Amino acid sequence: MNNTILLIIFAVLLLPGFAGIFLPLPGILYMFIISLIFGFVDKFQHLTELELLILGIIALVAMLNDYLSGMLGAKYGGAAQKSMLYGIIGMILGLIIFPPFGGLVGVFIGILLAEIFNHGNREKALCAATGGLVGSLIGMGITLILSIVFLFLFIIFGIK
């Protein structure tokens, strides 16, 4: 198959991975797997093992960012460890009740309620919940940038 057509097909297949930025789906992992499949289909003629490693590192950094950004924001805001767990539960419930952005509301409400319930200090609870929300939003922005870089590098690597 012509490399240009193959590259276009696989680049389009990468696009659903962007949903992982807004939903708790492993979008960047999906993008990496699609790139790996492209490499095998193309017999690594246009995507070398080193370039695949570079894409893998970007994917790994994005995944770590996804898992840590909200928690780091909440921790910076003063949330207790237990409250961060409630934030994760709130995110899951929020996504079920109000997809796709209910997760952000759920993180905020989960941390807020846990902090109020456990410590009774509404001001501290609001600070911790806001930290979790801001951390999650910043993390989403970073993941978006990394996903765009991943897509562009995939195309650049595949063109040669």
Each residue of 92-133: pLDDT tens digit?
A: 898 889 877 788 898 899 999 999 998 888 888 999 999 988
pLDDT for the residue 75? 84
pLDDT for the residue 113? 93
The answer to whether the pTM exceeds 0.75 is yes
Note down the domain range covering 46.
3-159
* Average pLDDT score, the chain: 89
- In sequence order, the 6+-apart residues with CB closer than 8 A to the CB of 86 are 110, 111, 113, 114
10 Å Cβ neighbour count for 9? 12
Each residue of 54-78: pLDDT tens digit?
A: 999 999 999 999 878 888 888 888 8
Q: How many domains does the chain have?
A: 1
